[in-house]
Copies of this chain bind each other. A is one copy, B any other.
Amino acid sequence: MRLTRYFLPVLKEAPAEAEIVSHRLMLRAGMIQQLAAGIYNWLPLGFRVLKKVERIVREEMDRAGAIEILMPTIQPADLWIESGRWDAYGPEMLRVLDRHERRMLYGPTNEENVTDIFRRHVKSYRQLPLNLYQIQWKFRDEIRPRFGVMRGREFLMKDAYSFDLDAEGARRSYDTMFVAYLRTFRRMGLTAIPMQAESGPIGGTMSHEFQILAKTGESHVFYDQAFEEIDFSAAELDIEKLKSLYAATDDKHDPARCPVPPERLRTGRGIEVGHIFYFGTKYSKPMRATVTGPDDREIEVEMGSYGIGVSRLVGAIIEAHHDEHGIVWPESVAPFRVGLVNLRPDDPSCTAMAEELYARLCNAGVEVLYDDRDERAGVKFATMDLIGLPFQITVGPRGVKEGKVELKERKSGARTDLDPEALLARLLA
């Protein structure tokens, strides 16, 4: 993508409303623009990251055997009246009247709708287990939205729902999601600590939140220092061990009953990026979602639900990956892999070299943002550092004379002068 034909409205100063670093950097890097409190436009650069995060979430859900569907944002009140949540869900639910004065709502979550899909179509235990998921916008009318996309009102969420014949099967489904979540966050360069948590308005008997440690986190968290010794990138994770280790948010943590000796108890702040629930028959019972069992008996299915905050993750990744110059994207979610800076678009030899590199990288399938603007070098470098692409290539007159360009790794800052063939070999390796 040529920057002269792109739309990248970077800002020199972050607007005063931005309290945390990810919000400041997303505004400065031209990733988002606020439309109303807690409601954001995703500008081109932000949109690309959102799609990368979404794709990783999708791939890990598919790998775990969940099946993707898509439920509408606007739903009728009926199903929520049936489950009892129309009255129970507070003012965070955005309620709407349509032109025929029918009561509708903007889905804050979808247990009711997916249970309705299930009960209409699934009749036999032989169709279980089943896990249906979607990646769809939700609305929760937070009283004080803040922190940019980290606590927005309209947000993109992956929500999965498992259906099993019995508690043992439901536990297996829960564990499958538990592991898929650790993999998902790991692929984005995040270490998420699973914590016992309250179930809140979703309900249920077992629940884990996945928290990224960050100073700006909204929850106070407590955890066994053993978590710091776990290799979360290992191919096989010992899920029983992980679930047995103590970690809890402050609403669940009770110092008097904490099993971890004080010298091993760590504390910090966390950003919740995922939340999973096992709630048995909380919805299948009132909504009569049953299957015929092996012995012909009607059995209420055991359910769980599993959320990941897709848009929130974009902010959480920045909280974990930035420095004083800007964002430092992990490669897996970077909006482009390479930034190509032509220092002198007015110099034919620089432009010839930059154009050739651009064409060859594009042809090889590398995502390149090519700064072909007529701007000062300092502006171009600052923009590249701010938007944090993993690799920066600089084409300047001195290097070109010697047949060299510079490759800079954003994360380490390491710079190497390379001839174009060596550069391509390195980036395409």
Q: Which residues of chain A have a CB within 8 Å of any CB of chain B?
A: 5-7, 9, 30, 33, 35-36, 39-44, 47, 50, 65, 67-76, 91-92, 94, 96, 98-99, 102, 104, 106, 113, 116-117, 120-122, 130, 132, 137, 139, 141, 143, 153-154
Contact A73–B104 (Cβ < 8 Å): no
- Cα–Cα, bound, A141→B121 (Å): 28
Asked if A99 meets B143 with Cβ closer than 8 Å, knowing A35-B76, A36-B104, A106-B74, the reply is yes
Among B6, B92, B154, contact of A74 (Cβ-Cβ < 8 Å): B154
17 A-B residue pairings within 8 Å (CB atoms): A7-B69, A9-B122, A35-B76, A36-B76, A40-B72, A41-B113, A42-B70, A42-B71, A44-B67, A44-B132, A47-B68, A74-B139, A92-B99, A96-B106, A98-B141, A99-B141, A99-B143
Question: Closest approach, in angstroms, between the C-beta of A165 and any C-beta of chain B?
Answer: 15
- Cα–Cα, bound, A68→B46 (Å): 10
Nearest to A43 among chain B residues (CB) is B69
Asked if A75 meets B7 with Cβ closer than 8 Å, knowing A50-B70, A70-B50, the reply is no
Contact A73–B36 (Cβ < 8 Å): no
Complex contacts, A143 vs chain B, CB 8 Å: 99
Complex contacts, A65 vs chain B, CB 8 Å: 5
Contact A71–B141 (Cβ < 8 Å): no
Contact A69–B47 (Cβ < 8 Å): yes
Contact B117–A72 (Cβ < 8 Å): no
Complex contacts, A76 vs chain B, CB 8 Å: 35-36, 39
Contact A39–B96 (Cβ < 8 Å): no
Asked if A70 meets B47 with Cβ closer than 8 Å, knowing A39-B75, A65-B5, A113-B41, the reply is yes
Complex contacts, A130 vs chain B, CB 8 Å: 7
Question: Closest approach, in angstroms, between the C-beta of A146 and any C-beta of chain B?
Answer: 15
Contact A96–B99 (Cβ < 8 Å): no
- Cα–Cα, bound, A130→B4 (Å): 10
Contact A39–B72 (Cβ < 8 Å): yes
Complex contacts, A40 vs chain B, CB 8 Å: 72
Question: Closest approach, in angstroms, between the C-beta of A422 and any C-beta of chain B?
Answer: 31
Question: Closest approach, in angstroms, between the C-beta of A110 and any C-beta of chain B?
Answer: 10
- Cα–Cα, bound, A318→B367 (Å): 35
Complex contacts, A139 vs chain B, CB 8 Å: 73-74
Asked if A41 meets B96 with Cβ closer than 8 Å, knowing A130-B7, A137-B137, the reply is no
Contact A69–B41 (Cβ < 8 Å): yes
Contact A41–B70 (Cβ < 8 Å): yes
Complex contacts, A102 vs chain B, CB 8 Å: 36
Complex contacts, A153 vs chain B, CB 8 Å: 74, 98
Nearest to A127 among chain B residues (CB) is B7
Contact B41–A7 (Cβ < 8 Å): no
Asked if A91 meets B99 with Cβ closer than 8 Å, knowing A41-B72, A130-B7, the reply is yes
Contact B73–A137 (Cβ < 8 Å): yes
Question: Closest approach, in angstroms, between the C-beta of A73 and any C-beta of chain B?
Answer: 6
